Amino acid sequence: MTTYFSETTNYYKEDNPEQLLKKYGSPLYVYSEEIFRKRCKEMATLVPYENFKVTYSIKANSNLSLLKIAKEEGLHADAMSPGEIFVLQEAGFKSDEIFYISNNVSNEEMMYAIDRDIVISVDSLSQLEVYGKIAPGKKVCVRLNPGVGAGHHEKVITAGKKTKFGINLDKIDKIKIIAKKYNLTICGINQHIGSLFMSGKNYTESVENVLIQAKKFENLEFVDFGGGFGVPYKKQEGEPRLELQQFGQNLGKIFDEFAKEYGKKIIFRIEPGRYIVAESCILLGKVYTKKSNYEKLYIGTDLGFNVLLRPAMYDSHHEVEVYRNGKLVKDEQTENVSIVGNICETGDVLIKDRDLPIIEEGDIIGAMDAGAYGYSMCSNYNNRLRPAEVLINKDGQSSIIRRRDTLEDLLQNF
Ligand code: LLP
If one counts every other C-beta atom within 10 angstroms of the C-beta of residue 338, the result is: 17
The 3-state DSSP class for residue 414 equals coil
Closest C-alpha to 98, from 115, 122, 120: 120
Ligand 1-lining residues (CB < 6 angstroms): 57, 59-60, 78, 101, 156, 158, 192, 195-196, 226-229, 271-275, 310, 314, 372-373
The 3-state DSSP class for residue 45 equals coil
Q: What is the distance in A from the centroid of ligand 1 to the CA of 162? A: 16
For CATH 3.20.20.10, the residue range(s) in the chain are 94-272
C-alpha to C-alpha distance for 193 and 165, rounded to whole angstroms: 9
pLDDT, tens digit (0-9, with 9 covering 90-100), for 279-311:
999 999 999 999 999 989 999 999 999 999 999
Q: What is the distance in A from the centroid of ligand 1 to the CA of 274? A: 7
| CATH numeric code, 5-30+278-411 | 2.40.37.10
Q: How many helices (H) and strands (E) would you count in the chain?
A: 12, 19
**Beta bridge mates, 293:** 296
CB 375 within 8 Å of CB 386:
yes
Q: What is the pLDDT of residue 146?
A: 82
From atom 19 of ligand 1, which residue's Cα is the shortest distance away? 156
For CATH 2.40.37.10, the residue range(s) in the chain are 5-30+278-411
pLDDT, tens digit (0-9, with 9 covering 90-100), for 341-383:
999 999 999 999 999 999 999 999 999 999 999 999 999 999 9
pLDDT, tens digit (0-9, with 9 covering 90-100), for 95-113:
999 999 999 999 999 999 9
pLDDT (average), residues 256-276: 98
For the CA of 372, the nearest atom of ligand 1:
24
C-alpha to C-alpha distance for 202 and 208, rounded to whole angstroms: 10
Q: What is the pLDDT of residue 313?
A: 97
pLDDT, tens digit (0-9, with 9 covering 90-100), for 38-90:
999 999 999 999 999 999 999 999 999 999 999 999 999 999 999 999 999 99
Closest C-alpha to 24, from 396, 305, 392, 379: 392
Told to judge if 378 belongs to the known catalytic residues of this protein, a careful annotator would answer no
Helix ranges (DSSP H) in 91-239: 107-114, 125-134, 172-181, 201-214
Res. 123: pLDDT tops 90: yes
pLDDT, tens digit (0-9, with 9 covering 90-100), for 338-348:
999 999 999 99
Pocket test for ligand 1, best of 39, 53, 57 (most atoms within 8 A of CB): 57
Task: Please identify which of the residues 40, 281, 344, 378 carries the catalytic annotation.
Answer: 344
For domain 94-272, the question of CATH label 3.40.50.150 is answered with no
